[in-house]
Amino acid sequence: MDKNIKTEAHYAERASAQETSMPATSESQSKSKSRTTSASAPRLGVEKTYKLYINGKFPRTESGRYFTVADASGNNVANMCRASRKDFREAVVAARGAFSGWSRASAYLRSQILYRVAEMLEGRGEQFVGELTATGSSKRAAAQEVTAAIDCLVYYAGWADKYQQIFSSVNPVASSHFNFSILEPTGVVSAIAPQEKGLLGFVSDIAPIIAGGNTVVSLASEQNPLCAISFAEVLHSSDVPPGVVNILSGYRNELNEHFASHMDVNAVIYNGADADEIKLVQEQAANNIKRVVIRKKPAAPDPYQIMDCQETKTTWHPIGG
Amino acid sequence: MMPEASTAEMSAPAPDHVSRVDQVGVEERVARFRTRSIKKSSKVHALKLVLSQIDLTTLEGQDTPGKVRQLCQKAKHLHDTLPDIPHVAAVCVYPMMVGVAKKALTDSGIHIASVATAFPSGMATTEAKLEEIKLAVEEGADEIDMVISRGKFLQGEYQAVFDEIALCKEACGDAHLKVILETGELGTLDRVRHASDLAMHAGADFIKTSTGKIQPAATMPVTLVMLQAIRDYYYKTDRMVGMKPAGGISKAKLAIQYLVMLRETLGEAWMTPEWFRFGASSLANDVLMQLKKQETGVYQSGDYFSKD
Amino acid sequence: MSDGKNAIKLNYDTGWEYAAAPESTDHININDRYELFIDGKFTAPKSGAYFDTINPANEKTLASVAQASKADVNRAVKAARGAYDNVWSKMKAAERGKYIYRIARIIQERAREFAVIESMDGGKPIREARDVDIPLAAAHFFYYAGWADKLDYAFPQKTPKPLGVAGQIIPWNFPLLMAAWKIAPALACGNTVVLKPAETTPLTALKLAEVIQAADLPPGVVNIITGDGSTGAAIVDHDDIDKVAFTGSTDVGRIIQRALAGTDKKYTLELGGKAANIIFEDAPIDQAVEGIVNAIFFNQGHVCCAGSRLLVQESVAKEVITKLKERMQTLVVGDPLDKNTDIGAINSAAQLERINDYLALGQKEGAEMYQAGGKTPKKGYWCQPTLFTDVAQSHRVVREEIFGPVLAIQTFRTLDEAVSKANNTQYGLSGGVWTDKGAKIFKVGQNIRAGVIWANTFNKFDPTSPFGGYKESGVGREGGLHGLSAYVNLH
C-alpha cells in the first residue's frame, strides 16, 4: 500500500498544516524519515498486514479468509481479514471482560485516555492521510478528515466527565426519600461503522460509546477499512485497556446479523441507510431486547450520542435520623 | 454491687451491638397500623381491653390526698351504668401518695404504681433514688416507674445507667420495675432501641416511653421500636418484658391503633394488662364515650362522664 | 418450618380479630356495557363483539366491554392523527398543559370511585388502590402537565418536537396508574394517543375516558380502545402510529420489538423483572423485613419490579426468615374491598394457574415451601403469600418471573457474592439493598445492573422519579425528566 504514499510534498504540507498542533512522536518522526528515504531512493516497500484488533492483540481472522481493498483505479491496496462470527464472538468476550474495569474507571481517566488517543492520532496523522488517499480521498479531504477525527476525539474527551452532570437529576419525590438518577453505560456495544469516511466515520461512532464507559466491538467500513484497522495501533499506544475497543473488518452481510443477535451484547449501533440491513438488525436485536441505534446519516458530534448508550439508574434512600 | 436477679446480665450492651433502626421505615410501618379499620365487635373488644390496660395517672405538683382518693374512686368505678366494664390496671402516683392510694384501693384488684427515682428528671444520687424506691415499696406500691439517667446515657456512660437500673430492680423487691426511657430526650430511634436493650438486660420488668412531662411523649414509632426490642429480647432470653407507652394518648382511636401495633408485633401473649399498659389521665373517658356510642349509636358529650 | 429452624415463637392468632370493614360500593356506577372511546365519543365496535370483565375476588361479571377490531383501531388512529394535525400540535403548549392539569384534578375529585373500581376489576386491596394507585395516577398527570410548556429546558441545545400518534398498551397490574404513566407524558410533549388497557382490567381506563370527556379535551387527542392481544397487535402494526409504548411481559415485548423492525416507529418497553433484595447483616432488620414484605407481597406480587429474590447474609438469615414468617402471620388475605386486606385476589384464573404451576415446580425442584396459612374465600382466585427456601441460582423459581406473591430466598456470605447473584439474571429492572453503612449502599447500588435501586426501602414510586430497566427489563424510562425523551424527536 505504501506505494501510493510517497511524495515529500505531502509531508511538507502535513507538517505545515499542523504547525500549531502537538509535536509528532519520535516514533512517527523516525518512520516518516525512513519513508522519505525510500521515496528518494527506490527500494522494495515493506507492506503492512492488516489484521483484526481483539482484546488488545492483533490476531488474524480465525477463518483464514480475506477480502481486498482497491484504490480508485482498481489496484489492490491491501488484503483485509474477512472476520467470521467466531472472531466476533471472541471480540464480545473481550469487550465483556473489559467492561467492568472501563465502566468503573473514573470519568477523569476516561477523559484523559481519550485525549491521549487524540494525541496519538495527531502524531500518526500522515499515515491516515496516506490510507485515505490510497482509497480515493483527495489529499485535502483526507487531511480534513484526519483533523476532524482528532478534534472529535478531543471533543468527546471533554464530555467524558461532564455529560453525567448535564443529564443526571435529583428528583423531588413526595415521600421522605432522597432520590437521584445517574447514568451508567449500557454495556457491550456492537457498532457497525459508516461506510463513508473510513476514519472519521469510525471515530465518530466509537468515541461517544467509550467516552460513556461502554466497551465496543466495531465493524470497520467495508469499503474503506484501512483507517479503522490502523486506528487500532493508535488505541494500542494510548493506554486504552485491552478489550475496550475491538475492531473487525469484514462483510456486513455476513456480520450484521451476529452483531445484532448476540445475547451478551447490550446495544447495537448501525450506521447506514440500507432498509433491509436496518430491518435485519432491528429484528435480531429483539433477541435480548438490545438497544438499537440507527444513524442513517452522519451527525455532528454531540453529547446526545453518548446518551444513546447510557442507562438511567434511579436510587432511593430514606431521609431519617 | 451488682443485682442478684437471675434475669439481669452483668453489663450494658454496647451501641455497636444494638440493632439498627431506620426511622422512615418505622414510620411507614406505623402508617400501615394506622390504616387498620377497627369496627363493630372488634372495636368494642379493643375499647374494653384499653380500659383494662390503663395506668390512671396523676403526677402533679398540686396533687393532694383528696385528689388521689378521687382518682382511685374513678379507677374502681369508671362508668357504672355501662355493663361489663373492666377496672383500670393501676393508678400511678408519687411515692408520698402511695399510702393514700393503697387505702383507697384495698381489695379492688387495682395495682398501685409509683414513680420514683427523682421523677421526672432523675437528677439525684443513686442512693437517694434507691431510698425513694424503698419508701414507695414500703408504703405499698406494687409497681415502681423509674426514670433512667438520660444525661449519663447521652454522655455514653451506659454502664452507669445499666448499674443504676440493676440496683433499682434490686431495691424493688417483689414490686415490678418499669423503666422510663424518656424517649423525647434521647433524640433518635437508634438510642431508643439501645436504651430499651440496656433496660431489659439490667432487669426491667416493663419498659416505658415517657414521664409525660417532656414533649414528645409516647409516639407510635417510638413504641414500635420498643416493642421490637422486647420481641428480640424475648427470642434471646425467653423472658417476657412488658411495654408502657405514656403521655399523649388521650383518644380511644389512637389507643386502638397502639393495640393493632401490639397485636401485629408481639401477638396474643402481650394483649393483657399484665404485659401492656397505657400511662394516661384522660384516655379512659374517651374510651367510655366510644363504648357508649357503640351501645347507643349516638355520639357522646363529656358532660355525661365523670372527670376526676 | 418442618425442620424446626426459623420457628415462630409468637402467636399472632389472637383472640382479637379485625371485623370485616368493607369499603362501600353504593357510590359506584359501572355500566352494563362499555363501548370504545374514539374521537371523544363512546362508539360501538365495528365487530359488534364484546367480552366480559369480571371481579377476580368473586368471579362475578362487572361489565361487558367492546372488543376493538382492526377496523376500530383504524378509526382510533385516524381520530388521533386528525386531532394531532388539526388541534393538538397547533395548540399553545401552556394550553395543552392546562388540559392535563384538569385531568389530574378530576381524578383527585373522583379518587374514591376510581379506587373502588380498580379494586373490584383487578383484585388489588382497596388500601393500595386508595393510597397508591389513584393518588399516584393523579400526581403523574399533575407532574407532566407542568412540563408541556417547558420542554426546551429539558433538552439543552435541542428543539424537541412531538412524535405524532402514540400507540400505548398497558398491563393489568396497575391499570389506571399505567394509563397515567403513558398518557401524561405523551400529551405533555404534544402527541395524541391510542391507548389499550389490559383485557382483564379495562374499567378504570374507561372511567378515565369519562374524565377526559369531562375535562373537555379536544376529541381524538386521547382514544381508549379495549380488546385482547389482537387489538394490541393491530395498534403496533398500524402504519400511521409513530410510537409504541408497551408495558408487559418480556416475551410480548420481544415480539413487539421484532414487529417494529424495519419501521421508523420509536418505542419504549417496560418489561419483566426478577429483582434481588439484598439484606446485609448490618441492616435495620425489622425495617428490612417490612421491606421484604413490601417488595414481594405488594399488589399480590403482580409487580414487574417486585423483589422476588431475597438474598440474605448468612449471619442474619435465621433471624430475617423467622421475622418474615412472623410478619406473614399478620398479613390479611381476602376480600380486596375490605380496608384491612393486605393481599387481595390474583388478577385472573390464568395468572393463578401460572403461579400454582410455579408452586408445584418449586417443590418438585426440591425447594422448601412455606405459606402462612389462613382461610381464603371459596369463590375467586387466591394465593397465600409464599416463601421458597433452600433454593439456588439454578432453581427455576429463582430464575423466572412468577408475577405472584412468591419469594425465593437465598443466602450469601460476602458482598461480591450477593452482587454476583443479584446480577445473574437476564433482567435488570430493580434491586434492593439494606445496610446501615452508607459506603456499602453506594457500592452495591453501583454494581447492581438495574434501573431502580431501592436502598433501605422498596417499591417506592413517584412521578418525578424515572423508572425502567436494564437488559431484558426494557428500553427507555418512564417518569421524571428522563421520561420525556420517549415522546419527542430532537432536532
Per DSSP, the three-state class of C212 is: helix
Q: In CATH, what is the architecture of B16-293?
A: Alpha-Beta Barrel (3.20)
Strand ranges across the sheet with A177-185: A169-170, A177-185, A310-318, C452-455, C430-434, C276-279, C309-313, C406-412, C386-389, C368-371
Distance CA A182, CA C131 (A): 29
- Would you state the pLDDT for residue A40? 64
Instruction: Verify whether the Cβ–Cβ distance B39 to C11 is below 8 Å.
Output: no
Q: What is the pLDDT of residues B91-116, one digit of tens each?
A: 999 999 999 999 999 999 999 999 99
Confidence band of C103 (pLDDT split at 50, 70, 90): very high
- Would you state the pLDDT for residue A46? 87
Mean pLDDT of C291-311: 98
B contact set with A (CB within 8 A): 22-25, 27, 187-189
- In chain C, what are the domains? 33-271+470-490 (3.40.605.10), 276-455 (3.40.309.10)
Residue B253 annotated among the catalytic residues of the structure: no
The closest CB to that of B188, out of A177, A319, A321, belongs to A321
| Closest approach of C8 to chain B, Cα-based (Å) | 10
Instruction: Verify whether the Cβ–Cβ distance B42 to C16 is below 8 Å.
Output: yes
Which value, in Å, is the radius of gyration of the alpha carbons in chain A?
21
- Residue A265 pLDDT more than 60? yes
* pTM to 2 decimal places: 0.93
- Residue A9 pLDDT more than 90? no
The closest CB to that of C475, out of A169, A177, A289, belongs to A289
> Is domain A51-318 in CATH 3.90.400.10, yes or no?
no
User: Taking Cα atoms as reference points, which of C141, C49, C50, C37 lies closest to residue C79?
Assistant: C37
Place of cell 442513517: A296
| pLDDT > 70 in chain A, percent | 87
Q: What is the pLDDT of residues C136-156, one digit of tens each?
A: 999 999 999 999 999 999 999
Active-site residues of C: which are they? 270, 304
Mean pLDDT of B208-217: 96
The percent of chain B in helix, strand and coil, each rounded to the nearest 5, is 50, 10, 40
Residue B145 annotated among the catalytic residues of the structure: yes
Q: Which amino acid is at B221?
A: P
Confidence band of B156 (pLDDT split at 50, 70, 90): very high
Confidence band of A71 (pLDDT split at 50, 70, 90): confident
Give the least confident one: A38-47, C10-19, C275-284. Answer: A38-47
- Would you state the pLDDT for residue B9? 63
Q: What is the pLDDT of residues C62-88, one digit of tens each?
A: 999 999 999 999 999 999 999 999 999
Give the least confident one: A69-83, A216-230, B197-211, C298-312. Answer: A69-83
Domain boundaries along the sequence of chain A: 51-318
- Residue A18 pLDDT more than 50? no
| pLDDT > 70 in chain B, percent | 97
Q: Where are the alpha helices (DSSP H) in chain A?
A: 8-17, 26-40, 85-104, 107-123, 125-134, 139-159, 163-167, 200-211, 226-236, 252-261, 275-285, 303-307
Q: What ipTM, to 2 d.p.? A: 0.96
| pLDDT > 70 in chain C, percent | 99
Q: Which amino acid is at B242?
A: G
Q: What is the pLDDT of residues C338-351, one digit of tens each?
A: 999 999 999 999 99
The closest CB to that of C258, out of A166, A186, A283, belongs to A283
- Would you state the pLDDT for residue A254? 97
Contact C313, C437 (CB under 8 A): no
DSSP conformation letters of A245-271:
EEEE-S-HHHHHHHHHH-TT--EEEEE
- Residue A32 pLDDT more than 70? no
Instruction: Verify whether the Cβ–Cβ distance B21 to C127 is below 8 Å.
Output: no
| Closest approach of C340 to chain B, Cα-based (Å) | 5
Place of cell 360501538: C44
Q: What is the pLDDT of residues B172-181, one digit of tens each?
A: 999 999 999 9
Q: What is the pLDDT of residues C373-393, one digit of tens each?
A: 888 999 999 999 999 998 999
Mean pLDDT of B248-276: 97
Q: Report yes or no: A312 at the C interface, CB cutoff 8 Å.
A: yes
Mean pLDDT of chain B: 94
- Would you state the pLDDT for residue C56? 98
Domain boundaries along the sequence of chain B: 16-293
Contact C132, C462 (CB under 8 A): no
Mean pLDDT of A241-259: 98
- Would you state the pLDDT for residue C136? 98
C-contacting residues in B 231-260 (Cβ below 8 Å): 231, 234-235, 259
- Would you state the pLDDT for residue B14? 79
Residues forming beta bridges with residue A218, ordered by sequence position = A191, A247
- CA dihedral A121→A124→A129→A131, nearest 10 degrees, is -100
